[in-house]
Structure formats: structure tokens, C-alpha cells
């Protein structure tokens, strides 16, 4: 009898755990589906709106009824964005690497919001090049990317933070799966790791004021950041500036295979559906309980993010198997 009772009790514990798990998932899904109301009087400022995620996001936010303030780098980008949109979308030229430009944009937003404060700040501006083997880089090559992707996020956030505090709003920072797993040299991965860290620290520091901070971690998508032309152009520049001794240690075949690898990755794995990213951004701005992190894209959810938790030797081995081998390698 005791053996029979023991056999019955064990499944009961399993059923209880399963029931709690199902209940937790149901509550999470319900909580995740709750949204704010009255968005028509809420202002959102987005950087990097000339193309890509920022461009698509601004169009969607306007359709949602938000008052959209878009920061573009070029006049052409601003004109293209405003074409076919209504009065609820306004643009301004802003360079996130220029403190005076960011300050002017903040003052413009302050005037546009009329003392209501800023509900949302989306730090989307970014660049990817130059990227390549670390030894091919010079210090200024790192600086050019870090100034936009990391320091630009910090500069813009600190400038707009008083407006965000006034509205008890949201800050949405665009990082990357390469901010969770560094797969190539150059400033891009470093900058995205920096955005992750800055966002975590910021979230913990300012949650007392009712401000929510979310991180978007896109996988590979077809945007200007993944465009092959500038990537290849910069790789040729890096290769040509190398000392002959360093160039010989890699060999011409390494360079050719590296270029082919970039073409294969960008042509095969880049998703053209940018809504997978912009939908995450919109959720972060409209949900009552926005998530801390959003993994956008199937490659992010099922490859990059899971791999980021793997032991270093496994990740190193996988990347080494994909990358070409230098001519003078020791192994």
C-alpha cells in the first residue's frame, strides 16, 4: 500500500508543478497584452529615421495615433519620411555624435511637447562599419562606430531624460544580438555590449521615477547597417592600409574568403521583414508592462541568444569553423 501511495504522490507533485507553470504563462501573456490608452497626446522622439527600423517605426507610430518627432541625419531622409504622412509626424535634422545638434533637437522637442514631457525616446541611430578582423583596425576605426552607437545613445538619453521624467515615459534602446555574442572585430559589437550595459544601469537607476527602459536585440535584417556595398568598401580600405607583413600573415586567399563569407551571411540570413523589430519597439512604447529585453527575429530567438549562454570554448569552436584560416596560422 505504501508503495502504491508513493507512486501516486509523485505524479501529483508533477501535476502541481505543471499547473503552476501553465498558470504563470497565462498570467504573463495576459499581463503582456495590457496596453496604455490615450496615445494621441503622447509624444515619441526617434533617432535614425532616414531608413530602416526608424523609418518604418515612425510611419507605424503615426498610424497608431502618436505625436511623432523624427530625428533624421539628412534632409533627403527627412523629406522621404514626411512624404505621405500627416501633421502628427514632424522631422528635425540631428547628428547624435554632435552634442550641440542633440541639444538643439532636445530644445525643439521641448517646444513641440508644450510642457507635457516626452513619453518615448527611441535610440535607433547606428552604423556597422568598419567591421572585420581586429588586427586590421586602427583606433579611429573603433571611434567612428562607438561615437554613433554608444556615445550617441548616452548623449541623447542624458539630454532628453528631464523630458522623459516629466512624462514618466519610456526609453527604448536598440542594441543587437551582437551585443550578447561578439562575432566580429571592430567597434560594432563593442558598442552594442555598451548599449546593453548602459541600459541595464539606467533602468536600475531611474525606475523610481516611473520610467521604463527596454532593450531591442534584433537579429540580422536587411537595412543600411547590413548593406554589402559599404561593408565591402570598408574591408578593402582596411586591407589596403595594412602593413605588408600583417597582410602577408593573412594572405590574399583569406581576404577573398572573408569577403565571400560576408556576402553569404548578408544575402542568406538577413530578414527583409522589419516589422519583427518595429513591433517590439511599439510594444515597448504601448504596453502597460513593457519587457526589459526584446529578441527580434527567429535567428535572435533560436540561435544568437541561446548561443550567448554557451561556454566560450563552444562558441569559439563554432565561429572558428566558419571563419577562414590565415595563411600563417599556427593550427
Residue 208 bears catalytic tag = no
Question: What number of other Cβ atoms are within 10 A of residue 168's Cβ?
Answer: 12
pLDDT of residue 1: 58
Helical residues (DSSP H) of 114-251, grouped into ranges: 139-149, 151-167, 187-206, 228-240, 244-250
pLDDT of residue 7: 56
Q: Is the pTM of this model over 0.75?
A: yes
67 neighbors 114 (Cβ within 8 angstroms): no
Integer angstrom CA distances of residue 262 from 52, 110, 183, 294? 20, 43, 12, 26
- Crossing angle of helices 228-240 and 252-269, in 10° steps, is 170
Residues of the chain with pLDDT under 50: none
pLDDT of residue 144: 95
Integer angstrom CA distances of residue 7 from 19, 20, 245? 19, 21, 72
Strands 212-218 and 170-174: parallel
H or E segment and range at residue 93: strand 89-93
Catalytic residue among 15, 43, 55, 188: 188
Integer angstrom CA distances of residue 209 from 109, 164, 165? 21, 10, 7
Give residue 261's Cα distance to chain centre: 23
Question: What CA–CA distance (Å, rounded) separates 207 from 213?
Answer: 8
The torsion angles phi and psi of 127, rounded to 5 degrees, stand at -145, 160
21 neighbors 44 (Cβ within 8 angstroms): no
pLDDT of residue 115: 87
Closest CA to 103 of 94, 90, 111: 94
pLDDT of residue 260: 95
312 grid coordinates:
566560450
Question: What number of other Cβ atoms are within 10 A of residue 170's Cβ?
Answer: 24
- Exposure of 78 by Cβ count < 10 A (0-12 exposed, 13-18 middle, 19+ buried)? buried
120 bridge partner residues: 44, 170
For residue 56, what are the contacts with CB-CB under 8 A and spacing of at least 6? 274, 275, 278
Query: For the chain, what is the total number of helices (H) and then of strands (E)?
Result: 14, 7
pLDDT of residue 60: 96
Coil vs helix vs strand at 272: coil
pLDDT of residue 329: 73
The percent of the chain in helix, strand and coil, each rounded to the nearest 5, is 60, 10, 25
Amino acid at each position: 500500500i505504501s508503495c502504491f501511495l508513493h507512486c501516486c504522490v509523485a505524479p501529483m507533485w508533477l501535476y502541481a508543478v505543471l499547473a503552476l507553470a501553465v498558470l504563470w504563462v497565462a498570467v504573463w501573456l495576459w499581463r503582456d497584452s495590457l496596453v496604455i490608452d490615450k496615445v494621441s497626446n503622447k509624444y515619441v522622439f526617434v533617432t535614425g529615421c532616414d531608413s530602416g527600423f526608424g523609418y518604418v517605426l515612425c510611419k507605424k507610430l503615426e498610424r497608431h495615433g502618436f505625436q511623432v518627432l523624427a530625428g533624421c541625419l539628412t534632409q533627403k531622409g527627412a523629406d522621404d519620411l514626411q512624404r505621405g504622412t500627416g501633421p502628427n509626424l514632424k522631422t528635425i535634422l540631428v547628428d547624435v555624435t554632435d552634442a550641440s545638434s542633440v541639444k538643439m533637437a532636445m530644445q525643439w522637442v521641448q517646444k513641440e511637447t508644450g510642457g507635457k514631457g516626452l513619453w518615448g525616446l527611441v535610440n535607433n541611430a547606428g552604423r556597422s562599419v568598419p567591421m572585420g578582423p581586429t588586427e586590421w583596425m586602427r583606433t579611429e576605426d573603433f571611434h567612428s562606430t562607438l561615437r554613433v552607437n554608444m556615445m550617441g545613445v548616452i548623449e541623447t538619453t542624458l539630454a532628453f531624460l528631464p523630458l522623459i521624467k516629466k512624462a514618466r515615459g519610456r526609453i527604448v534602446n536598440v542594441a543587437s544580438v551582437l551585443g550578447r555574442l561578439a562575432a566580429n572585430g571592430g567597434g560594432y559589437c563593442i558598442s552594442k555590449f555598451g548599449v546593453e550595459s548602459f541600459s541595464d544601469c539606467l533602468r536600475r537607476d531611474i525606475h523610481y521615477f516611473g520610467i521604463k527602459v527596454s532593450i531591442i536585440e534584433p537579429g540580422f535584417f536587411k537595412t543600411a547597417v547590413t548593406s554589402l556595398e559599404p561593408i565591402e568598401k570598408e574591408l578593402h580600405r582596411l586591407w589596403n592600409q595594412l602593413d605588408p607583413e600583417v597582410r602577408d600573415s593573412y594572405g590574399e586567399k583569406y581576404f577573398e574568403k572573408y569577403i565571400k563569407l560576408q556576402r553569404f551571411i548578408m544575402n542568406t540570413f538577413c530578414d527583409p521583414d522589419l516589422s519583427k523589430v518595429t513591433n517590439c519597439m511599439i510594444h515597448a512604447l504601448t504596453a502597460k508592462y513593457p519587457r526589459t529585453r526584446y529578441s527580434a527575429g527567429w535567428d535572435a530567438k533560436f540561435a544568437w541568444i541561446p548561443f550567448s549562454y554557451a561556454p566560450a570554448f563552444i562558441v569559439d569552436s563554432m565561429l572558428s569553423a566558419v571563419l577562414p584560416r590565415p595563411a600563417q596560422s599556427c593550427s
